[in-house]
Amino acid sequence: MRTVVITLLLSLLTYCSEAPQSTPAPSASNTDDNSAGAQPVSPIPAIPAISNAASAWDLGFMAAVANPYATDAAAEMLAQGGHAVDAAIAAHAVLGLVEPESSGLGGGGFMVVFEQDNKRVRFYDGREAAPAGAAADMFMQDGEVMGFLNAWQSGKAVGVPGAVALYKLAHDNYGKLPWASLFEPAIELASEGFVATEKMAGLLPRIAQVSRLDENPGAAEYFFPDGEAIQPGALVRNPEYAATLQRIVDEGPEAFYTGEIAEAIVAATQAEPDGGSLTMEDMASYEAIEREAICGPWRDLTVCSATPPSSGAMQIMVANMYDTLVPENPTEFERVKAFVDAQRLAYADRDYYFGDPDRVDVPLELLLDPAYLQSRGANPIAPGESPTHGDPASVLGGETAAVFSPDSTQEPAGTTHFSIVDDAGNAVSITMTVESAFGSSRWAAGFLLNNELTDFAREYNPDTPEAANQVRPGARPRSSMSPSILLDSDNELYMVTGSPGGNSIPAYTAKTIIGIVDWGMSVQEAVDFPNIIARGDTVRVEIGREPGQALAGQLREAGYNVQESEGENSGLHVILVHEDELEGAADPRREGTVLTTAPM
């Protein structure tokens, strides 16, 4: 049953990524040349020189967001003089309405912010948290791991949502526009209606085959009115969502974490079958957290991202190990092979060592030490062998890091990412999620609840060491989300990037960094290039985009276990800073757009 369910989920996500783009027309300022998708990529050119960012900001603003309605909302805030954070909150409030399969108020996420005035990068953690009643064995039944379908759709999978608390923490630090104004576009759309896209509506009949979305109270009535799935192009209203947002506007986040909205969340989570332990006390005690952003050198750039429980540090790991692995004067295939080998090493270390840093000691400083990364890259895993984690102590000396059990957490791709730069040069890279497509399918107060706790290691054996990513009360599950910001040698903004895509997110995101900086691609070319994901024993290659088929054949000949994929579920949104302009791109595999102003 588990294999069948996972296969169905993967087919659903592929369908979602390949769906025709039937979306409302964006405003006149849409940079269609950048967001429409480039022609198939030719062989990788020689490595170019890196452009330096402008030292004085006069480049206007840009928003690359996952849905035209949300891009418009972000641009509206930026045009009013709002901070990039204001635009991000407005965009996500809209995304929770028009893209509920990917994220929403019932989920959480990570936000990385670049401050133009002091050249500082900060990280805000709005990841969902396990309730106090969570236990290491809560996904075990009669000594066996609970089937993924049952775990995914259960109340046990629902963590305390972090999105609203993340909004408030970020707005308190950066907001230039009034709190209420950030929610006006979403409230208007929810009240007056939005046009359902092919991505959301087209997924409904298939998701109903493997979930309870068409059965659960609230969700069934909303997504399947009169027993029939919402059709692409239909006008959809969600007055319940509008009312929830208005409560958040009038009363602040307390309206979400206490009172009627919280009661609805708790009731939906505790409902049978397989109800969870979430309580009103869990809701009221939740806090978004500011953590130190992780920044590391790569060539003459600084790569910054989110620390654990995020996997953002993998961007530093992959880039630096790639440089050790790639030969001088490489061919296109040698570059791709180095990228594959760097991923295999980085994923193995991530899977073993990463967890909630408040619950487990993540040896991040050791894993990012240049000497360790160089040594790790100099000793790649043979193509036919299973990747194994490294031991920084064997390279750097000192005590061996804690011993953990292996972890192969599944992480389906119900996530969204967007990148924003405001007209003062501040930037936001933000990835938000409800975990699987349509989250847990459980509905409360106009939105879906997450199934984020399936991101923990679900298998538990009391006779073996704990997994770093084990279920623990109050813990935040490890995430592949990797919102990233790159700075140039003058500490100026250079790139904003990130993607949805479950366990594939680090690979998708790293492709844009290496593709732009090392492979000489434009932003759109890097986004369009075939996705290649090398985690565990398999190297998955997107053959539906050139030169994916040829690369799959070359990797197979080199001894790798290659899995061919017709489509991938990336949703990359990237902004690159040139000396005289911003260059942005949206992933044609989804329905995002790019909006900008002309330089001042």
What is the set of active-site residues?
415
β-bridge pairing 573-577 and 493-497? antiparallel
Strand-strand pairing, 120-126 and 140-141? unpaired
CA–CA dist 359, 64 (Å, integer): 35
Burial class (CB in 10 A: 0-12, 13-18, 19+), 553: middle
User: Both tokens of residue 448?
Assistant: 């879906």
With 0-12 / 13-18 / 19 or more C-beta atoms within 10 angstroms meaning exposed / middle / buried, residue 508 is buried
DSSP, res 228? S
Using CB atoms within 10 A of its CB, is residue 270 exposed (0-12), middle (13-18) or buried (19+)?
middle
- The strand pairing partners of 418, in sequence order, are 430
Q: What element of type H or E holds 596?
A: strand 593-596
CB of 465 closer than 8 Å to CB of 171: no
Tally of CB atoms within 10 A around 447: 29
Query: How long, in residues, is the chain?
Result: 600
Q: Specify which residues 563 forms β-bridges with.
A: 540
Could you tell me which of 438, 441, 385, 384 has the C-alpha nearest to residue 412? 438
Classify residue 379 by burial, with Cβ atoms within 10 Å: 0-12, 13-18, 19+. exposed
Cis omega before residue 547 (within 30°)?
Answer: yes
CB burial of 30-49 (b: ≥16 within 10 Å; e: otherwise) equals: bbeebbeebeebeebeeeee
Residues 565/553, Cβ–Cβ less than 8 Å: no
| Structure tokens that stand for 474 in this block | 């109050």
The DSSP code for 212 is S
**How far apart, in whole angstroms, are the C-alpha atoms of residue 506 and residue 513?**
11
CA dist 327 to 321, 339, 457, Å?
12, 12, 37
SS3 content of the chain, % helix, strand, coil (to 5): 35, 15, 45
